Structure formats: C-alpha cells, structure tokens
C-alpha cells in the first residue's frame, strides 16, 4: 500500500508520519508506507494537528472543513481524508521538499 489512495467516494486518503517541532513545515519524503511531514508546530494542545490540517488545506487548495483527521489524533502516524480534491498528491512536494 502506498502513502495515498482514493476511497469509494473519490476522496483522497493520505497516510502520514508526522515529525512535530521541526524548523519548517515541509513534506520530507517517505517513511515506510507513509509520507513524512515535518511540522514547525509543537505537539502540544493539538497545535501540530491544527497546523497539519491547515498545511494540507493550503496545499490542496480546499477549505479547511474538507480536510479530516480520520485516525491518529494523539499519534505521529495519521490518516487524513481530503474531500473532493482536484489536485494530485504531488502538490505536497511543490516547493516543500529539500
């Protein structure tokens, strides 16, 4: 299984490995079967989750309400659903990877 797939409703489902507290927020390549995302936000009081959802909404050009944390609220391993995204998952790498 890759780090992304489409569900029956044609929503994009992302499998991510999160590294909070990084210098910048960037997609940092693969980590096993997940895409590693480095987040500048700290892992306290949901700040990292909020930053992640905002980052993804911005990258996929969708409202924040269409980016859903499906699994992993308190874990580094997360499953995110992006509803009705017209963009390819490659947008995560545009200007974000070193």
Helix (H) or strand (E) holding 18: strand 12-19
If you ran DSSP here, which 8-state letter would residue 73 be given?
Answer: T
Q: How many separate domains does the chain show? A: 1
91 part of a folded domain: no
* Residue 26 included in any domain: yes
Provide the b/e sequence for 22-38 (b: ≥16 CB within 10 Å): beebbbbeebeebbbbb
What was the pLDDT predicted at 94? 60
Q: Is residue 97 part of a domain?
A: no
> What is the pTM (predicted TM-score) of this model?
0.90
90: confidence class by pLDDT, cuts 50, 70, 90: confident
Q: What is the CATH number of the domain that holds 25?
A: 3.30.1200.10
14-19: average pLDDT: 98
- pLDDT at residue 12 in the model: 96
Question: Could you give the maximum distance between any two Cα atoms of the chain, in Å?
Answer: 37
Residue 17 domain-assigned (yes or no):
yes
Amino acid 97: pLDDT: 44
* Domain carrying residue 31: 4-86
Residue 32 lies in a domain: yes
Helix and strand numbers (H, E) in the chain are: 1, 6
Question: Considering the domain boundaries, does residue 95 fall inside one?
Answer: no
- pLDDT tens-digit map of 39-77: 999 999 999 999 999 999 999 999 999 999 999 999 999
């Amino acid at each position: 299984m890759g780090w992304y797939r489409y569900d029956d409703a044609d929503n994009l489902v992302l499998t991510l490995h999160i590294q909070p507290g990084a210098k910048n927020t960037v997609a940092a390549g693969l980590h096993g079967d997940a895409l590693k995302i480095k987040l500048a936000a700290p892992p306290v009081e949901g700040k990292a989750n909020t930053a992640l959802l905002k980052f993804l909404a911005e990258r996929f050009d969708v409202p924040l309400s269409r980016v859903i944390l499906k699994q992993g609220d308190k874990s580094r391993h997360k499953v995110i659903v992006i509803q009705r995204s017209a963009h390819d998952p490659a947008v995560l790498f545009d200007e974000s990877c070193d």
